[in-house]
């Protein structure tokens, strides 16, 4: 009997363990066992302990295909196979209400729009949500040139030796439908930054499909008709700086679950900051007459009586969002706390042994703000807001003398001067 035509006395998990050498002997032997077993735990053992889906590499890996298309394979085992090489998305950190509402909307079959200011973690949370709810997901980032075909599909020309032929190319949502049909389980589609596109024009066919699950949105080259089902989980993100919800086409707000991701209360923000700092290689140590910024390696704790980088983050956040550091008390713009994660990562590497600012931790913090935070605020700011930002950073500079924020103040002031002179680009030229 050839290895490609094995007979197994038992096709359950125990049989898989007893016959593992035979199963691993060839792609055909492994595929044969997966095709014949009706024990999901047997496939779980092969994937989770033996990693059988990775043993036979290349596009001809029939074992992997058999695992993913088998109705016996448990959903979470298929997820493991699909998502082995995905980035570690970590713990969900968005407010609990946001997670519950988004997860429930997907489970009842509603597409979701996550909206809010920059830096609130919309895209990252969308990935986490789809990774949990689906086998896997695809990402498409909107552009001003998007057409309905980018969503549903279109006809594309191909030139071969001077001859032009045409084929049907599925759009991002239609590809999601194809994935569901192929693997018999939910598939995710992340449409990122949708306000870059003309939503009312681009989403037209999708609106119809959301309301009518019998509506054909695409026919492939074989003539198969594709219709949207609840197993295609769609999550969109949009920044409030691009367009407010009230300015959106009414069609999307009636058909999609609109979930705001904006406010993190002070306690939630501090939990984020502490979590990030606890995972950094080092924490900045800056000593002055009136304050100490200290990180204790032994317990990754924080001195309660010392002003820390958390205070700078908090004062910066409240100043931008609530106007605490400027005259008049009005906020400058909406700005989420996730932006400060880049600061923590930069400082942690820069202040570590051999880092660029190993001996000047205070300067590392300043350069991180000048590299990540101030440019993002200036990118969408009008002249009145830039003036407020200049005042904001001057106030912080007076309050946080250990850091010497002069370079950031200078960056913002130069941008304000350039705007007054009408020079596009200003401080970045």
Which stretches of 1-136 are assigned E, i.e. beta strand? 112-116
Whether 422 is covered by a domain: the verdict is: yes
Please name the helix (run of DSSP H) or strand (run of DSSP E) that holds residue 233, with its range, or none: strand 232-239
Tokens of 159: 């030139």
Same domain as 288, residue 368? yes
Same domain as 43, residue 111? no
Same domain as 363, residue 301? yes
Whether 8 is covered by a domain: the verdict is: no
Domain that holds residue 52: 13-83
Whether 90 is covered by a domain: the verdict is: no
Whether 1 is covered by a domain: the verdict is: no
Per-residue model confidence (pLDDT) at position 222: 86
Domain boundary among 218, 233, 260: 260
Per-residue model confidence (pLDDT) at position 306: 37
Question: DSSP character for 245?
Answer: G
Query: How open is the CA angle 202-207-209, to the nearest 5 degrees?
Result: 115
* 5-9, 214-218, 235-239: the lowest-pLDDT one: 5-9
CB hemisphere CA count around 269 (13 angstroms): 23
d(CA 390, CA 400): 15
Same domain as 317, residue 242? no
Mean pLDDT of 162-175: 87
Same domain as 73, residue 103? no
Mean pLDDT of 386-413: 91
Q: At residue 156, does pLDDT exceed 90?
A: no
How sure is the predictor about 328, in pLDDT bands with cuts at 50, 70 and 90? low
Whether 89 is covered by a domain: the verdict is: no
- pLDDT tens for residues 251-297? 888 899 999 987 788 888 888 888 888 777 766 655 444 444 444 33
Mean pLDDT of 113-132: 93
Same domain as 56, residue 106? no
Same domain as 404, residue 274? yes
* 208-222, 301-315, 350-364: the lowest-pLDDT one: 301-315
Whole-model pTM?
Answer: 0.81
d(CA 374, CA 314): 15
Give the per-residue SS3 of 106-154.
HHCCCCEEEEECCCCCHHHHHHHHHHHHCCCEEEEECCCCCCHHHHCEE
Whether 309 is covered by a domain: the verdict is: yes
CATH number of the domain residue 156 falls in: 3.40.50.300
Q: How many domains does the chain have?
A: 3
Same domain as 396, residue 252? no
> How distant, in Å, are the alpha carbons of 227, 287, 357 from that of 349?
49, 19, 9
Asked if 166 and 158 touch (Cβ cutoff 8 Å), the reply is yes
Same domain as 124, residue 34? no
């Amino acid at each position: 009997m050839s290895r490609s035509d094995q007979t197994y006395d038992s096709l359950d998990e125990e049989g898989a363990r007893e016959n593992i050498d035979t199963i691993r002997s060839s792609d055909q032997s492994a595929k044969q066992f997966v095709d014949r077993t009706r024990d999901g735990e047997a496939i779980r053992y092969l994937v989770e302990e033996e990693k059988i889906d990775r043993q036979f590499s290349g596009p001809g890996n029939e074992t992997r295909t058999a695992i993913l298309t088998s109705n016996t394979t448990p959903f979470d085992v298929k997820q493991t196979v699909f998502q082995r090489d995905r980035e570690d998305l970590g713990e969900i950190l968005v407010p609990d209400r946001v997670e519950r509402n988004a997860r429930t909307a997907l489970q009842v079959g509603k597409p979701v729009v996550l909206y809010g200011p920059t830096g609130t973690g919309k895209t990252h949370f969308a990935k986490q949500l789809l990774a949990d709810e689906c086998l896997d997901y695809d990402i498409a980032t909107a552009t001003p040139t998007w057409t309905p075909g980018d969503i549903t599909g279109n006809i594309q020309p191909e030139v071969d030796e001077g001859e032009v032929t045409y084929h049907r190319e599925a759009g991002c949502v239609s590809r999601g439908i194809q994935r569901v049909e192929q693997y018999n389980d939910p598939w995710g589609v992340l449409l990122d930054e949708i306000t870059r596109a003309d939503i009312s024009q681009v989403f037209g066919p999708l609106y119809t499909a959301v309301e009518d699950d019998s509506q054909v949105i695409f026919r492939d080259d074989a003539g198969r008709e594709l219709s949207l089902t609840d197993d295609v989980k769609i999550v969109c993100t949009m920044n409030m700086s691009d367009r407010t919800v009230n300015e959106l086409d009414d069609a999307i707000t009636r058909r999609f679950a609109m979930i705001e991701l904006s406010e993190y209360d002070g306690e939630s923000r501090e939990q984020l900051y502490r979590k990030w700092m606890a995972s950094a290689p080092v924490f900045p140590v800056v000593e002055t007459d009136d304050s100490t910024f200290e990180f204790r390696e032994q317990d990754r704790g924080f001195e309660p009586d010392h002003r820390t980088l958390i205070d700078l983050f908090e004062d910066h956040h409240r100043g931008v969002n609530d106007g605490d550091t400027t005259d008049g008390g009005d906020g400058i713009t909406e700005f989420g706390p996730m932006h400060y994660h880049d600061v923590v990562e930069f400082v942690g590497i820069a202040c570590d042994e051999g880092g660029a600012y190993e001996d000047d931790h205070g300067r590392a913090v300043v350069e991180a703000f000048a590299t990540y935070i101030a440019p993002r605020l200036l990118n969408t700011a009008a002249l009145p807001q830039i003036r407020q930002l200049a005042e904001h950073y001057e106030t912080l500079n007076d309050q946080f003398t250990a850091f010497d924020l002069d370079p950031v103040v200078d960056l913002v002031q130069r941008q304000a001067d350039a705007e007054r002179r009408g020079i596009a680009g200003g401080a970045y030229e």
